[in-house]
Structure 1
């Protein structure tokens, strides 16, 4: 084993051989020079941790040229001091490298958290995905945006998504008054969908909403307008300027959802067949829906079509020539009506004080369903008219029962429109009695059938306020 005092002269004098060889310094134990066949010269330090029974390890100090012998010797002395303290130089170097890499990863992750994983960035990406996925209805997308922008974003902006916990989310829900149960539930639901989406993408490890208590759902409403209330609302709507009056009349006569009526387009309507086809993209349940139009609805749409032609100064305006496209219910003639609360306030202001207890627009659908029942309409027809997927049309039954109930719906909606016209003219079911002076539903249904046969217009009942059932049946 060659030894020498490693100085610049001895290092420069070392010549390459056929294999690597080492020259050990004769003054500093473990300090040496490795010479390779290619002429490379590298300073090394060889040591043993824990006594002679343990294997030796070798640490590369650096290349000759980049280091002078004196600089390499100084480094070797520092390494020897570490060994004296029981520290493994190679392990220490590996640990230092690992610490540097960990620090860099932490810095990168912090930058990612503060950048692409900041709540507002993730929420923006999720909303884009939510809107495009499954062709969701505009109303659903708007509600998701409302929850994010109104409730989540003000509290979570700037926070990295992986750092958001239940403790951050619960105060958001608690901040919504308990009486607004639907809003509390909506925030919970949309937040859960957002965080689950991020979890499935690997951006977070768990959904913090998953372990939160689900807010109590609002009680199911069972509000049904009385005949007198329905008449008060109908007549108040007659006093409103377009499009508010027609909007509420269409809601009443068709029983369709608020957003579906507000966004009705001429392209969805066919006068020849008296049919409105709601596209699947607009329907709440994603199923295209046929809504037969009663004569009263056709008459209302004729008036709107004529007004539109007159406004456009069309040659030879014709009420029976409906536009091929465009919003039917619109404030400015282009965009569909979206100011639902404003429309409802206008109607409430126009309604005679004290005639109608607190109500919501959706109550009109429930009132139509209840009216159908009074008119003897089958449950399946009612569900089909409302575009519900219930036990009558779900599961296996929905696969095998493909009847569209189109004609039955047409008959039912004609009867309902005639019913509305009759009560608006002052007629009431209680005025139709049997021979014992008791109210008789059959007599009222017979009278409504007579009204349907009269083009939906009320027929004369004769003199007096009470009509015997025999007289009612004779009018059919």
Structure 2
């Protein structure tokens, strides 16, 4: 009996059954020693690395913990390798990097190096190419983000978005090449685009980032050291007065203007801000799982509050009705999902954004370009005082920390007083909405 196996003509004698058995065994041997082996995927440990035995042909075990990292077992050595892409997107070039031999590098060291290389590759830096020694801006931004996360800075995501967006044209430049002229040009450009708040926010974040660079020895001194914005003139202070609604007529006009927004999700977010007085990002990242329908309370986790403490927000009838309508609009099932309440239309797992554009039609309808989401928070706090809510309760309602020793020793929640204050405020808004 004969057959062609693996490009060779094989002859077997001794009858059909013997020939069939011979073919099966021969084919099995060819598969085992073939040039390609299907890589396994598992969580590597030092013991698994140590006990991995060589086969007739080289094979690999992919690490589950670090995507792209693999242990390659040859006939005489075991090495860690990394497969990734240089840059981002489907057109990015595939690369393979040798991390090190298991006899000279531990698994933890291999994983740390692989993660570092992945960050470099994402930013277009090939670790195989010798560098001049100057760290690039994009790479240092990644290190700064890791530092913020390690220190549990609450607004890390917003801070890094501001930095990466505005420093994007300089991402491939060494950090030492960034001058004060470059940075002030960015700040001035943001201000001229009509976003003074965003300009100031970038300046603060850039100052922290560059101080980090100086502290780590990447630059001798921050190029923004000693930088001060020009003091506002009296005319500028008057024109930049913070927008707050202080009369029932203004609130009525705002509620009418809000209906002109073509985006029902954004409408609901602004309305809930007016009803609860919480910060924009606290509401934007609100999740259904944070709501307790039995107690009518919304619990904001500590990692999302400015004070870095858990904050409980009472919800009155208007707030609950608004959230119920939102659930119908988005198809969410409160109590059975951890989804975002205000998701982005393009990416449901990402919170709503694009504030500058979304607010334009509401500002036009209201007739004041100073109208802002944070102004709704000020309106809420001002309104509580006007309605007779005491100072301590009103401050607790918006999540402000109690100053001094009172904040250190008094841990009361005054929940009953806050529930009553929320009822008073929502009754006031309901009367103006009719």
Measure the CA separation in 1 of the matches of 2:256 and 2:220.
57
Q: 1:149 to 1:228 in 2, by over 3 A?
A: same
Report the TM-score when normalising by structure 2.
0.60
- Retained in 2: the 8 A contact 1:119–1:153? no
Measure the CA separation in 2 of the matches of 1:199 and 1:191.
12
Q: 1:302 to 1:176 in 2, by over 3 A?
A: closer
Secondary structure at the aligned position of 2:299 is classed as strand
Report deviation, 1:176: 5.0
Report deviation, 1:231: 1.5
Report deviation, 1:369: 1.2
Paired position in structure 2 for 1:405: 414
Paired position in structure 2 for 1:364: 376
Paired position in structure 1 for 2:253: 232
Secondary structure at the aligned position of 2:302 is classed as coil
Q: 1:256 to 1:169 in 2, by over 3 A?
A: closer
Report deviation, 1:164: 4.5
Q: Does residue 1:373 correspond to 2:394, yes or no?
A: no
- Retained in 1: the 8 A contact 2:393–2:414? yes
Measure the CA separation in 2 of the matches of 1:176 and 1:330.
26
Matches within 5 A, 1:29-428: 114=132, 116-130=134-148, 132-137=149-154, 140-150=156-166, 152-154=167-169, 156-162=170-176, 164-166=178-180, 169-175=183-189, 177=191, 181-214=196-229, 216=231, 221-225=241-245, 226-238=247-259, 242-308=264-330, 311=331, 322-332=335-345, 334-348=349-363, 351=365, 354=367, 358-389=370-401, 393-425=402-434
Q: 1:237 to 1:168 in 2, by over 3 A?
A: closer
Report deviation, 1:331: 4.8
Question: Unaligned regions of 5+ residues in structure 1, if any?
Answer: 1-110, 315-320, 426-476
Measure the CA separation in 1 of the matches of 2:212 and 2:374.
31
Question: Unaligned regions of 5+ residues in structure 2, if any?
Answer: 1-128
Report deviation, 1:416: 0.5
Count of residues paired in the alignment: 296
Q: Mark the structure with the bigger radius of gyration.
A: 1
Q: 1:241 to 1:212 in 2, by over 3 A?
A: closer
Secondary structure at the aligned position of 2:151 is classed as helix
Report deviation, 1:117: 1.5
Q: 1:202 to 1:409 in 2, by over 3 A?
A: same
RMSD (Å), alpha carbons: 3.2
- Retained in 2: the 8 A contact 1:119–1:158? yes
Measure the CA separation in 1 of the matches of 2:354 and 2:398.
23
- Retained in 2: the 8 A contact 1:247–1:329? yes
Report the TM-score when normalising by structure 1.
0.55
Secondary structure at the aligned position of 2:319 is classed as helix
Measure the CA separation in 1 of the matches of 2:222 and 2:344.
43
Secondary structure at the aligned position of 2:252 is classed as helix
Report deviation, 1:336: 2.7
Paired position in structure 2 for 1:88: none
Report deviation, 1:291: 0.3
Moved more, 194-203 or 231-240: 231-240
